[in-house]
Amino acid sequence: MPEQTGTSFKHIAELVRAAVPPMHPGGRPIVAAVATGAGLIRALTGRGTLLGLAATAGVAAFFREPRRVPPTRPGIVLAPADGTVATVSEVLPPAELDLPREPAPRVSVFLSVLDVHVQRIPANGRVLAVEYRAGKFLSADLDKASEDNERSALLLETAGGARIGVMQIAGLLARRIVCEVGPGAEVAAGETYGLIRFGSRVDTYLPAGSRVLVAPGQRTIGGETVLAELPDGTG
């Protein structure tokens, strides 16, 4: 019986650990700063324990990096972010992505402050370019945020030659964009490559002829939701 009890507690601990997502390394200094500030307020005033714990837990939750299992189906593009599909349209890609200057499918995903804010690689391939541009901090749900806001562009090429652009766009509250890969990096679909702090938007530019599989208002799960199918032979 003691052995069964011990096994039961161990199993419960494993379930709890699996249910609590790890934290992105970029969030650790901020969580530590919030926790330290809360501790100082508690030491000086004798109050604010619950508020301090809630603030620390809330910031830690913002930087969560849940495990994801990407589909293995070939020739698809995965959502690079958790959020809500804001727009699906055909537009000219921004100049920094160095894509053909002709209208191409774009899927924009809006991230609220409650969403997971890490970004994930949408397809297996190689990073061709990464380019950061300073800009404004308009609300990320506005269409003009794609052109006016601070952003970081990533250009990816699949083994079949398809070029996919992913744009991390700062929002009204966002003040930091992190991109952790550089040109020449070999990347896998679903792996984390970046982070935007506090409200944002992520645009995915697809090759002409791609079949978009999501619609405005649909929720996406980064690294798991299939955004589109690539043209034949380019996956």
Which of the following is catalytic: 146, 152, 200, 210? 200
Find tokens 């992913």 and name the residue: 166
- Residue 200 annotated as catalytic: yes
Gyration radius (Cα) of the chain, Å: 20
The answer to whether 52 and 39 are in contact (CB under 8 A) is yes
What is the chain's percent helix, strand, coil content, to nearest 5? 25, 30, 45
Which residues lie closer than 8 Å to 187 by C-beta, 6 or more apart? 121, 124, 125, 126, 127, 156, 181, 193
Angstrom distances, CA of residue 111 to CA of 181, 202, 221: 21, 8, 11
Give the catalytic positions in this structure: 200
